[in-house]
Amino acid sequence: MIKAAITAVQGALPDYVLTNEELSTMVDTTDEWIMTRIGIKERRILRDPDKATSDIAAAAVEKLLAKTNTRPEEIDFLICATVTPDMVFPATANIICDKAGLVNAFSFDMNAACSGFLFALTTAARYIESGMYKKAIVVGAEKMSAIVDYTDRATCPIFGDGAGAVLLEPSTEGFGFIDSILKVDGSGRKHLHQKAGGSLKPPTHDTIANREHYIYQEGQSVFKFAVSRMADVSAELMQRNNLTAKDLSWLVPHQANMRIIEATARRIELPMDKVMVNIHKYGNTTAATIPLCLWDWESQLKKGDNLILAAFGAGFTWAAVYIKWAYDYSV
């Protein structure tokens, strides 16, 4: 029986570091408030006006290919999870393939917001399990700074730019993608969305003047749903796979708020030293948080480790994925 195994991980981050100190010169906020309420110290921002989400993603993909000695033409398909596509159409995935030379790959975007990487990973795993495809790339990539209102103190400290990519290949050893639960509730859209720029409200002078092309978030409402849903779905997935906290090597949670991460860990009774946390360095990079965690921890992961990946985001969307890690890291 074929399983889809992650066989390498790679991240890419823009160089510019936007610190809480700098943010507090832009809006009425403090390092103390941001650290206590969210847990972010700094985030990366893509400053080059000529660069987009696809450039960060292509950088991750190119390094992923180099580190695995894979030729770009060997890749069968690529899925890009993003809410900040380069343009409304065509798909950013197509642009990434062009930039990284994936001439034989089909590709498409997936928008499940902060849960996007888990939706994309689940989809890609099913293609690999079918036996039809041998090498796939799933990339979560965002230039959140393109849709953040840097005059709104309630949202601008939260988000950052970045990309994380994984190589997915068939494995017959029993390691890899085991199970997932994907959920949506579209009625939650009222709490977190971008008001203008789509077909409902195409951009006009007025929508720009009203700052409707930026992220709109009712933080407290989103927080309440995020805390319960991310924990619920993680617990449900563990239960149906007969896993207890003792069986888990790592929880890999979406990095939106330190308090949401801690609540999820508490609910599944996992100590924080088994939880991947890098929110302080990168903020919330939406679809990129989970692969960026895997990248930061890649050297510590061991073949056979049980990982639960969990996310909650706009839509609402939420998801958990159970993976048996497939390799020991070697330089």
Which residues contact ligand UT7 (rule: CB under 6 A)? Answer: 29, 33-34, 37-38, 114, 153-154, 157, 219-220, 222-223, 226, 256-257, 260, 284, 313
The smaller minimum CB distance to ligand UT7, of residues 129 and 149, is found at: 149
The smaller minimum CB distance to ligand UT7, of residues 223 and 322, is found at: 223
Mapping DSSP to helix (H, G, I), strand (E, B) and coil, where does residue 49 land? Answer: coil
The smaller minimum CB distance to ligand UT7, of residues 222 and 323, is found at: 222
Rounded Cα–Cα distance for residues 86 and 96 (Å): 10
The smaller minimum CB distance to ligand UT7, of residues 103 and 154, is found at: 154
Amino acid identity, position 279: I
Q: Is 213 a catalytic residue?
A: no
Q: Which residues of 164-195 are buried (b: 16+ CB within 10 A; e: fewer)?
A: bbbbbbbbeeebbbbbbbbbbeeebeebbbbe
The CB-of-248 to ligand UT7 minimum distance in angstroms stands at 22
The CB-of-14 to ligand UT7 minimum distance in angstroms stands at 19
The CB-of-152 to ligand UT7 minimum distance in angstroms stands at 9
Instruction: Please identify which of the residues 20, 111, 257, 284 carries the catalytic annotation.
Output: 284
Q: Is 94 a catalytic residue?
A: no
The CB-of-90 to ligand UT7 minimum distance in angstroms stands at 26
Instruction: Please identify which of the residues 114, 191, 257, 293 carries the catalytic annotation.
Output: 114
Q: Is 284 a catalytic residue?
A: yes
The CB-of-195 to ligand UT7 minimum distance in angstroms stands at 16
The CB-of-182 to ligand UT7 minimum distance in angstroms stands at 16
Q: Which residues of 305-319 are buried (b: 16+ CB within 10 A; e: fewer)?
A: bbbbbbbbbbbbbbb
The smaller minimum CB distance to ligand UT7, of residues 158 and 243, is found at: 158
Q: Which residues of 10-19 are buried (b: 16+ CB within 10 A; e: fewer)?
A: bbbbbeeebe
Residue nearest to ligand UT7 (CB): 219
How many other CB atoms are there within 10 angstroms of residue 324's CB atom?
A: 19
109 forms bridges with which residues in the sheet?
A: 80
The smaller minimum CB distance to ligand UT7, of residues 176 and 188, is found at: 188
Rounded Cα–Cα distance for residues 57 and 164 (Å): 7
Instruction: Please identify which of the residues 20, 156, 254, 293 carries the catalytic annotation.
Output: 254
Q: What is the DSSP string of 88-102?
A: SSS-HHHHHHHHHT-
Helices (H), the chain: 20-26, 31-37, 53-67, 92-100, 116-129, 205-209, 219-240, 258-267, 279-282, 289-297
Q: Give the up-direction half-sphere exposure of residue 122: CA atoms within 13 A in the CB hemisphere.
A: 19
* Catalytic residue positions, numbered: 114, 254, 284
